[in-house]
């Protein structure tokens, strides 16, 4: 998996229902070259703090308004993202525009309206969709503390995610034992790193 020193990093996104196991995947950081793990929402910015307060039910916002804040939270990171990738750092990001559109459209907003503010953000080289049934995710611990963690909503969400599959999308069977999930992820990620090292251009949404 040798890569030339001026090759760019890969933009890799982890997506899935709540409690699908995305955040247990930090071992991806041990891939052997420059990798950073990010997540959206990034709750450290001013916009991120408004989102965090909304998610914790400490404030109420209209569905369109919160949608645009999630999008703004990605836009405020776009230029840093681009410079990291161009300087050779691979970014592994927990949730991105796919969550943005899937969550808001599962609430009933029009999908095309939801996609519009994401146009021009960097397109991932790889979207790893940790595929698990809503029922199985609900059996996992800690479910139900935040706004969206209810079974009926997660079922709608699963349908919205499936409507967003594109060329960068890989389904990972996330109901298997953790070692098997890791094996699937590792193989897919190494494959992607190789392709990006070979000069694959950095594109913009939507693919
Ligand atoms: P987190 O639990 O991964 O920090 O994400 C917080 C919640 O926000 C999670 O339920 C997914 C949701 N979300 C959106 O509704 N829109 C978005 O754009 C993102 C990134 C997350």
Q: How far is the CA of 31 from the centre of ligand 1 (A)?
A: 26
Residue 149: partners with Cβ closer than 8 Å, 6 or more residues away: 18, 19, 143
Q: Under CATH, which number does the domain 11-197 receive? A: 3.40.50.300
Please write the tens of the pLDDT for every residue from 43-78: 999 999 999 999 999 999 999 999 999 999 999 999
Q: Whose CA is nearest to atom 15 of ligand 1?
A: 103
How many of the other CB atoms lie within 10 Å of CB of 179? 7
- Dihedral through CA 184, CA 190, CA 196, CA 198, nearest 10? -130
CA 194 to chain CA centroid, Å, is 21
ipTM of the complex: 0.98
Q: Whose CA is nearest to atom 5 of ligand 1?
A: 41
C-beta of residue 69 within 8 angstroms of C-beta of residue 61: yes
Q: Which pLDDT score is estimated for 184? A: 92
**Closest ligand 1 atom to 146 CA:** 10
**Closest ligand 1 atom to 147 CA:** 10
How many of the other CB atoms lie within 10 Å of CB of 83? 10
How far apart CA 138 and CA 153 sit, in angstroms, is 11
- pTM for the predicted model, two decimal places: 0.93
Q: How far is the CA of 95 from the centre of ligand 1 (A)?
A: 7
pLDDT below 70 — which residues of the chain?
1-6, 23-33, 141-147
Query: Facing residues of 170 across strands?
Result: 128
Q: How far is the CA of 165 from the centre of ligand 1 (A)?
A: 18
Q: How far is the CA of 148 from the centre of ligand 1 (A)?
A: 9
**Closest ligand 1 atom to 103 CA:** 15
Q: Which pLDDT score is estimated for 146? A: 67
Q: Whose CA is nearest to atom 7 of ligand 1?
A: 55
What is the CB-side half-sphere exposure of residue 169 using CA atoms within 13 A? 19
């Amino acid at each position: 998996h040798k890569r030339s020193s001026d090759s760019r990093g890969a933009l890799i996104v982890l997506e899935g229902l709540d409690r699908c196991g995305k955040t247990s995947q930090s071992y991806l950081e041990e891939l052997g070259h420059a990798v950073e793990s990010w997540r959206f929402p990034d709750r450290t910015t001013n916009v991120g703090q408004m989102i965090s307060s909304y998610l914790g039910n400490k404030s109420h916002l209209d569905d369109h308004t919160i949608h645009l804040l999630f999008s703004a939270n990605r836009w405020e990171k776009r230029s840093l993202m681009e410079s990291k990738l161009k300087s050779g750092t691979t970014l592994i990001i927990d949730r991105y525009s796919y969550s943005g559109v899937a969550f808001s459209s599962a609430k009933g907003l029009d999908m095309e309206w939801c996609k519009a503010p994401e146009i021009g953000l960097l397109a991932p080289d790889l979207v790893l969709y940790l595929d698990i049934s809503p029922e199985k995710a609900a059996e996992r611990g800690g479910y139900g503390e935040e706004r969206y963690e209810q079974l009926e909503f997660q079922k709608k969400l699963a349908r919205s995610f499936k409507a967003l599959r594109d060329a960068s999308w890989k389904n990972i069977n996330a109901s298997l034992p953790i070692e098997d999930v890791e094996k699937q992820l590792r193989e897919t990620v190494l494959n992607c790193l190789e392709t990006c090292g070979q000069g694959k251009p950095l594109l913009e949404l939507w693919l």
